[in-house]
Amino acid sequence: MLNRLEFSNEVYKSTELYHFQKLKLLRVLNKKNAIQMDRAYFYLMPIL
């Protein structure tokens, strides 16, 4: 299991990929799921 610092680093590395694919993801997902994904993403932001 990742400790907090390792997890933060993994989230940080994934942010560029998240932004790069966000529009594609929003096209694929329905509106409700897209909103849930954004909430999950922003809940992780304070960890960074």
Residue boundaries of the structural domains of the chain? 4-47
pLDDT per position as a tens digit, 11-47: 766 777 776 677 676 666 666 666 676 677 777 666 5
46's CB contacts (< 8 A; 6+ apart) are none
Q: What does residue 44 show for φ and ψ, rounded to 5 degrees?
A: -80, -20
Q: What is the pLDDT of residue 37?
A: 66
pTM above 0.75, yes or no: no
Which residue from 44, 31, 46 is spatially nearest to 18, judged by alpha carbons? 44
Task: Using the predicted structure, report yes or no on whether residue 1 has a pLDDT greater than 60.
Answer: no
Cβ pair 44, 12 in contact under 8 A = no
Cβ pair 6, 13 in contact under 8 A = no
